[in-house]
Amino acid sequence: MDRYCVFGNPIAHSKSPEIHAAFAAQTGQDLQYERRLAPLDGFADAVRAFMAEGGKGANVTVPFKLEAVKLAQALTIRARAAGAVNTLVFSDEGIIGDNTDGAGLVADIVRNAGVTITGKRVLLLGAGGAVRGVVLPLLEHRPARLVIANRTVAKAEELVQQFAALGGEGVVAASGFGEIEGEYDIIINGTAASLSAEVPPVSPSVFASGCLALDMMYGASPTVFLQFAAGHGAQLRDGLGMLVEQAAEAFQLWRGVQPATGEVLNNLRAKL
């Protein structure tokens, strides 16, 4: 039986084993997937130990996504663009680092929410690692405009400079929260504000009629950002779909089989 795991610290809360067990059952794949608590100063050793035990691949969560970049012997384009790795593939050539977060977000928007990104005005709130990981996959869908807004504008401007070279020239722009202009079709909260029950200080005028508001965080009830967006007529999505879709992308990388995500997502939602 092939073995996979997710490394993190803390890790007990991770829903990844449940998701991958459901994918394996659905696709007839014989595998085992577990949580692994890696010491804060011992991530690389923990990965190598798992490989020595015959592990075939792993997911990486907080706080090791940057360390995983250094550990990987090769990086995919999207991992390099994100500057973070959440999926490791153990191959004959060594450790390959990938990032499936952005692909997961895009799949959730396009497939699950049924919203097209192409030609739309997209607003990304935040400029940290979560946002960095989704810019390239969003750009691949050719939005009309992608504005990265952040409290510290210089951080957003750094991202704009990086991604202009990757096909975003003239499309990607930076802004402070208070200076955002116009309405947006898709607004994505990639800040950590929801963790402290705060709303990024953006004007209600950013919400176009019938727009999609997505928070990368999730919980049993809508985040304060989604409650704010609901008050301005937005269609709402939290980060649970992104979680399931990024897992499906990793599963496909490891097994060569694309699992269906709908039922898995519905079952997880029911348990929140």
Q: Is 127 annotated as a binding residue?
A: yes
Q: Is 128 annotated as a binding residue?
A: yes
Q: Is 58 annotated as a binding residue?
A: no
Q: Is 266 annotated as a binding residue?
A: no
Q: Is 197 annotated as a binding residue?
A: no
Nearest alpha carbon to residue 15 among 67, 61, 46, 47: 61
* H or E element that contains 148: strand 145-150
Tokens standing for 22?
Answer: 């459901």
Q: What amino acid positions are annotated as catalytic residues?
A: 65
Q: What span, in angstroms and rounded, lies between the C-alpha atoms of 2 and 199?
A: 43
* H or E element that contains 90: strand 87-91
Q: Which amino acid is at 229?
A: A
Q: Is 239 annotated as a binding residue?
A: yes
Q: Is 56 annotated as a binding residue?
A: no
106 in Cβ contact with 120 (< 8 Å): no
Cα torsion for 120, 99, 251, 195, to the nearest 10°? -80
Q: Is 61 annotated as a binding residue?
A: yes
Q: Is 150 annotated as a binding residue?
A: yes
Residues placed in the known binding site for NADP(+): 126-130, 150-155, 216, 239
Residues placed in the known binding site for shikimate: 14-16, 61, 86, 101, 218, 246
Residues placed in the known binding site: 14-16, 61, 86, 101, 126-130, 150-155, 216, 218, 239, 246
